[in-house]
Every structure is written in C-alpha cells, then in structure tokens.
Amino acid sequence: MSALLDQLTRRQLLWHGDSQQLAYQAVASGYPELDQQLAGGLPATGLIDIQTDAGIGELRLLLPYLQQQQHHSQRLLVFIAPPAELSADMLAGAGLDLSQLLIITPTQQPATAPKNNQKQNNQQQKALWAAEQCLQSGCCATVLIWPAAMSLAQARRLQLAAEQGAASMVLFRRPCQSLSLPVNLSFSLQPDQQGLQLTVLKRKGSWPAAPFLVDMQRRWPALCLTDPTGEPMRRAG
C-alpha cells in the first residue's frame, strides 16, 4: 500500500468497503445462528426495532438476551403497556429476576375523560414519557414497549435517552411500510415451522444480510412443528 493511502487511512479519511465495525456493543442472544449473522448478537444499548405479529415467538427470541441484560448489570427490566397480562411463569422460567421487573400500564385518570382518540393519544404520550424516564435514569437495563405508532423525532429522542442511560429498548411493532427509524438494529420476523424467519432491515455500521432461520427446536421443542404434516383440527367457537 502506498504511503499516501496509509496516511489517509490513519486519519480516517479513507475506509475499506469490506471492513464492518459494529457501532454498538453486542450481547449474545442465546441463538448461535443469530449471533453469527449479527456479528455477536443484539445491541447492549440503544433501540432495537422488531416488526412482528404478536404470538409468533418474538419474546421467546429475546428471553436469553433479557436475562443476560438484567443479570449482567443488576438493573431493571421495564415492560411498558404490554398487550395483555404478562405471565410470571414464563418469565421466571426463563431465569428473569421478577423482583427487578417493572410493569407500567399508563391509564387514563377518571377525573378527566376526553374523547376516545385524544385518550389514546394521551396514553401513548404517557407511555413514551415513562420510557424516556426509564432509559435516562441509568437504572434500567432494557425497556420493552409496544407502541401503536412512533415518529422519527420520538425514536431519535428515545435513542439519545438510551445512550445516556446505557440502556436498550425494544420496540415491538406491527409490520409496516413506514420510514425506517434511527435505531441500532431493525429486523422483521416471520413465523416458520422450526422457529422464526428473521430479516434484518437495518443494522448500524454494517450491511443487511439475507433472511435466515432462527432455530428454536432446541430451546422450545414444544413450540415447533416437528411433523410438518400435522393434521389441523378445525373448531368453531
């Protein structure tokens, strides 16, 4: 390499197309193929955007990661506005410390009852406010939130708060065609018979890879279709 190129590289004016430096610190996700594809695992801080349907295994994918995050720093896990009642059995079974766990369900105060639309907006606002406070505080490891919608500015603000408090935040969203948010990692999930089909949409500091399969047969044998020719049982309610 010529002296000029060498000098330019050293001054960070020139870089190689094939060198991929992760913009974040990675934490092993507990699934070897995921770790391999994402060069180490899921980000320890910052936003993780997951576009998924409910109930296909999105939380199961994260459970080892959440356990590590919580255990490593002895900090809180916060669930904000989960779509239904969380079950303690599953979370405790995955090794999470239930005493270091908070559930925040913003509700409308009965004193003021505005219109339905405004009410939802208000709840959404409160949820985001709570998320920002948790991220900033520095005593939460990971915040999980199920937002109805999120704007670019809100995501940017939460990303900053997460960096400030060295926390990570997981957004569970419905698959949508909106603009990509300023997040560390964004992927979408599709159900698969052996686990989940994962498509990386965006990864900070690297190129997106081809869709790949996360195999859940070892961790969750009961929640995989071992026999693809299983007979569906039709029932009406």
CB nearer to another protein: give 18 or 227: 227
Q: What is the footprint of another protein within residues 122-151 (CB under 8 A)?
A: 126, 129-130, 133-134, 136-140
Assign residue 205 a region (left: φ > 0; alpha: ψ between -120 and 50; beta: otherwise). left
Least distance (Å) from another protein to the CB of residue 82? 7
Q: What is the footprint of another protein within residues 201-230 (CB under 8 A)?
A: 222-223, 225, 230
Q: What is the footprint of another protein within residues 34-53 (CB under 8 A)?
A: 53
Dihedral sign for Cα 99, 101, 102, 103, please: negative
Site membership for another protein, residue 92 (CB under 8 A): yes
CB nearer to another protein: give 38 or 140: 140
Distance CA 87, CA 67 (A): 16
Distance CA 220, CA 74 (A): 26
CB nearer to another protein: give 8 or 103: 103
Window contacting another protein (CB under 8 A); options: 18-26, 32-40, 93-101, 201-209: 93-101
Site membership for another protein, residue 176 (CB under 8 A): no
Distance CA 140, CA 78 (A): 7
Least distance (Å) from another protein to the CB of residue 140? 7
Window contacting another protein (CB under 8 A); options: 4-12, 16-24, 86-94, 150-158: 86-94
Quick one: which of 91, 58, 77, 83 has its CA closest to 216?
58
In the block, tokens 């400030």 appear at 164
Q: Residue 69 in contact with residue 45, Cβ under 8 Å?
A: no
Q: Which DSSP string do the residues of 182-222 spell out, in sequence order?
A: S-SEEEEEEE-SSEEEEEEEEETTS-----EEEE-TTT-GG
Q: Which of 27, 59, 150, 198 binds another protein (CB under 8 A)?
A: 59
Segment (H or E) for 76: strand 76-80
Q: Which of 5, 14, 103, 152 binds another protein (CB under 8 A)?
A: 103
Give me the torsion for CA of 168, 171, 172, 173, rounded to 10°: -160
Least distance (Å) from another protein to the CB of residue 75? 8
CB nearer to another protein: give 5 or 23: 23
Cα 82-146-225 angle, rounded to 5 deg: 80
Residue 224: DSSP 8-state: S
Window contacting another protein (CB under 8 A); options: 8-16, 26-34, 85-93, 178-186: 85-93
Q: Residue 67 in contact with residue 95, Cβ under 8 Å?
A: yes
Residues in touch with another protein (CB under 8 A): 53-60, 75-76, 82-94, 98-107, 109, 111-112, 126, 129-130, 133-134, 136-140, 164-166, 190-192, 222-223, 225, 230-237
